[in-house]
Amino acid sequence: MSSAEQTTNPEDPRPPRLTAAAVLAALEGIALVVLGVYMLVDGLVGESANTRSAVTGGLTMIVLAAIPLVAARGLLNRRSWSRGPAIVIQLLALPVAWQLLQVDSVLIPGGIGLAVVAVTTLVLLLSPTTARALGIGPRDADAA
């Protein structure tokens, strides 16, 4: 069985850490959809200075939302491949959170929230409990 197909026993209860990581990843995906729809609507009917840029940005956010949403579904279904994309999304969220913290505006609480969610999700995804639940473990020395 390849590592992409590797799963654990479906009868075993899903660890709360894995469920929490999946929920947080899904919330990030939903937030990207909401942001994308807002940008798209604002670009089409709002007073946006550059309609094409707003529409392109909105569509990009909606398409990018697929990554954390698919990863969240994979985590809930205990697919080992889903941890990689979920971790990458968290690592990409940290510089975004940092940039939001650098501005003097109402975006600072958003930066704090994004940083907390990203770090929390990373801790949950990297825990040994989550790795075991996804069937990810050390490779056997004999297999090499």
pLDDT for 128: 93
CB atoms within 10 A of CB 54: 19
Q: What is the pLDDT of residue 2?
A: 46
Condensed to tens digits (0 to 9), the pLDDT of residues 93-144 reads: 999 999 999 987 888 999 999 999 999 999 999 999 999 999 987 765 455 5
pLDDT digits (tens, 9 = 90+) for 40-61: 998 888 776 788 888 999 999 9
Location of structure tokens 């990373």? 122
- Residue 3 has a pLDDT of 45
DSSP 8-state code for residue 25: H
CB 120 within 8 A of CB 90: no
Angle made by CA atoms 141, 143, 144, in degrees to the nearest 5: 75
pLDDT of amino acid 46: 78
> The whole model's pTM is what?
0.83
Minimal CA–CA distance to 69: which of 14, 106, 28, 17? 28
